[in-house]
Amino acid sequence: MFDLKKYRKKSPWILHYNAGSCNGCDIEILASLSPKYDLERFGVINTGNPKQSDIFLVTGPVTYRSRERLVELYTQMPEPKVVIAVGSCTCTGGVFRDMYNVEDGIDRYIPVDVYIAGCAASPELIIDGIVKALEILEQKSKEMEKPHKLFREATSEGGIVNRRHSALKVGEIDEEN
């Protein structure tokens, strides 16, 4: 039987989207896939298809016209997924902050797991970021395995809560009991 979890850990696929960056970080991503830095030793492949990807690499401060594409690509990726913001302008807007067509960083639109600073982010940092993202991906896969259980939460007034959405909290209660 296929052990999807194992394969996902051994060979995460990358989706790269440029949301208005200056190309600096994009060529550094290419460079980190090339022989000297060789990100492919972690099994990473750059793919163009959101439906096959596990890691979403975003560069650029999110321009007004690209924001819908960004959200669209994020929603098309299957769970579990990790988002990495590459470069200073992706994290905060950087030098482009407060320009009229710029949305000041991607965390205004999608949740970010790893922030990589630098203008432009160096390949070493990108590799570190992706290795970090692999840990988060593994953690998220484990989280997904927990069964869906509905339970009654003490604080909400008779409300029924999905277990996965408050997984951490439930774990704590379990330990106490």
Partner 1 sequence: MKKIKVSLESVRDEIKSFYDYKQWHLLTLNGLALAENKMEVQWIFSKYEAMDEIVVYYTEIENTETIPSIVDMIPSAIISQREIVDMFGVKVDGSEKGLYLDEDSMQRPLSGCSI
Partner 2 sequence: MKKTINIPLGSQHISLLEPVRFKFECENEKIISVDSDVGFVHRGIERACTTKFKFDAIGYVVARVCGLCAITHSLSYTAAIEKLLGGEITKKAKYLRILLLELDRVHSHMLCLSHTCENAGFEAMFMRIMGDRELVMEIQELLTGNRVQFDYINIGGVNRDISSEVAQKIVNNLYEVKQRVLGYMDEFTNNWSLSLKFKTIGALSLDDAYRLNAIGPLARASGLNIDVRNEIGYLPFSEVGFVMQTHSEGDINARNIVRLNEILNSILMCENILSGLPEGEIFTKLKGKPNGEAVVRFEAPRGELMYYVKGNGSAMLDRVRIKTPTFASIPAFSHIFVGENYADAPAILASFDPCLSCTAK
Residues that bind partner 1 (CB under 8 A): 64-65, 100-101
Q: Helix axis angle, 123-145 relative to 24-33, nearest 10°?
A: 80
**Eight-state DSSP code of residue 147:** P
Can residue 119 be called a binding residue for partner 2 (CB under 8 A)? yes
How far apart, in whole angstroms, are the C-alpha atoms of residue 124 and residue 168?
32
The beta strands (E) that lie in 55-105 are given as: 55-59, 82-86
Can residue 19 be called a binding residue for partner 2 (CB under 8 A)? yes
Shortest reach from residue 22's CB to partner 1, in Å: 16
Write out the two tokens for 169.
């909290």
Residue with tokens 């960004």: 70
Nearer to partner 1, 61 or 129 (CB): 61
Closest CA to 133 of 71, 38, 57: 57
How far apart, in whole angstroms, are the C-alpha atoms of residue 126 and residue 132?
10
Shortest reach from residue 77's CB to partner 2, in Å: 12
Can residue 2 be called a binding residue for partner 2 (CB under 8 A)? no
Part of the chain binding partner 2 (CB under 8 A), chosen from 2-10, 105-113, 114-122, 139-147: 114-122
Shortest reach from residue 34's CB to partner 1, in Å: 33
Part of the chain binding partner 2 (CB under 8 A), chosen from 2-10, 47-55, 107-115, 148-156: 47-55
Residue with tokens 């052990």: 3
Part of the chain binding partner 2 (CB under 8 A), chosen from 29-37, 105-113, 134-142, 149-157: 29-37
